[in-house]
Structure 1
């Protein structure tokens, strides 16, 4: 019997009216795996995440999340399976941090029942995990870009889905918060969560991910462990510039630097 994959994508084709397209996208992600996607700007990384979340529907191909087709399941049901941690979170009202994180519990609540004691416990735990409890009473738009990014992650953690889709999580974060968020993501993986994340920083992706997919011009160029993917030739071809790849002295993961 074939084991059910957390994510399975076959022969995916998607095209915007502007002309950009994703073509021949195929990959799968195991349950509990941390799968990273890297590539230059405009290569289709964020578009792919939006398709996996069900926000966009491809013209062709198969997308399955634990055997479910995202756009054939109710939004509330899908919200119990997958959440998208996006850069494009712009609440129209200036909610407090705690109110934002509480929104993550909505898919688990019955109409008119309101939040339970367990919901409250999960919200507080999510705030503590991301070090955002200390400003939980502040309003969202009074925070820095990095602080807002951690709040959006807290909301996703509170949603408690099997799969987290993460878009440029460490953007706008200083080194201390990159380390904090990296440790949070490791804990989520250890708890059994499946993570598919887009990275701008190649080295953060290398340190966190089990496998990486490299994208360029709407296509996946290579998939493999960081040691297989972060090759000077592959990086030169994809990013069109010269790199030097070294080995991290502690983790033994590859690190890429501009030559």
Structure 2
């Protein structure tokens, strides 16, 4: 079942960079990764999918809905964007931050219920941040804050999760933890579209990978079709060596 469809997408910032000729279909339950050089339009594409930006041309549908023609509350039940750049205005506690993810499911007059609280605590346990439940968000390290933001997305309970470089600059233990959480979400039926800084993390986690350069999606395919020396050289304009992982058989890329 197709859950995300993009056709002939064109988007241009005022007097600047543009996305063009983007065509993409993502199936329900698929883990789709996006890689590419800095400034190639990866984050912009996620912001269009969540409805922050509206393209000048083309079609974008998530579960048959057009993001900028659907109410914010309704879209918040369908899709959430998980970004490493999450800066709350006030120094909320970790629990308060994660509880914000339940807002689309609450009425104007209702507060969080016992069930909501259980969902919040379970999500914190899943991301290894339950021990921080009463800490102020800004007292945590950047890696710990990212895991809390992932917990917030989990409790929002959307069909689609958009992830923007959540594993960038994390240590190996936290990359593994976040990767395992994303795998469990996929196994539960969630659809994930994630931008990756690290080619090898994308290769390890994704069903398919899309490669972006200069505002275009220049190639999509399974990791062995995309993580090749030729594709990476043409994309990043530098030489790579690609080997096979001795356990998983997935491709691993190294600078030559």
Give me the TM-score of the superposition, normalised by structure 1: 0.98
Within the candidate set 7, 11, 15, 1:10 is matched to 7
What does residue 212 of structure 1 align with? 209
Q: Deviation digits for residues 139-178 of structure 1, max 9, x if unmatched?
A: 1111111111111101000100000000001023110010
2:139 equivalent to 1:142: yes
1:216-240 Cα distance to aligned partner (Å, 9 max, x none)? 0000110000000011011001100
What is the aligned length?
256
Who is 2:250 aligned against?
253
Runs of 5+ in structure 2 lacking a partner? Answer: none
Q: Which residue does 1:118 correspond to in 2?
A: 115
Structure 2 partner of 1:228: 225
For residues 212 and 48 of structure 1, what CA distance do their matches in structure 2 show? Answer: 14
Report the alpha carbon displacement of residue 112 of structure 1 after superposing the two structures with TM.
1.4
Per-residue CA deviation, residues 28-87 of structure 1 (Å, 9 max, x unaligned), is: 100000000000000000000000000000000000001000111100010000000012
Tell me the equivalent position of 1:20.
Answer: 17
Q: RMSD of the TM alignment (CA)?
A: 0.7
Cα distance in 2 for residues equivalent to 1:137 and 1:120: 13
Please give the residue correspondences for 1:173-188 in structure 2 after superposition, counting only pairs within 5 Å.
Answer: 173-188=170-185
Which 4+ residue blocks in structure 1 deviate beyond 3 angstroms? none
| Corresponding residue of 1:198 | 195
Deviates most, 206-215 or 135-144: 135-144
Gapped runs of 5+ residues in structure 1? none
Q: Does 1:166 align with 2:166?
A: no
Q: Which moved more, 1:155-164 or 1:81-90?
A: 81-90
The residue that corresponds to 1:36 in the other structure is 33
Deviation at 1:207, TM superposition (A): 0.2
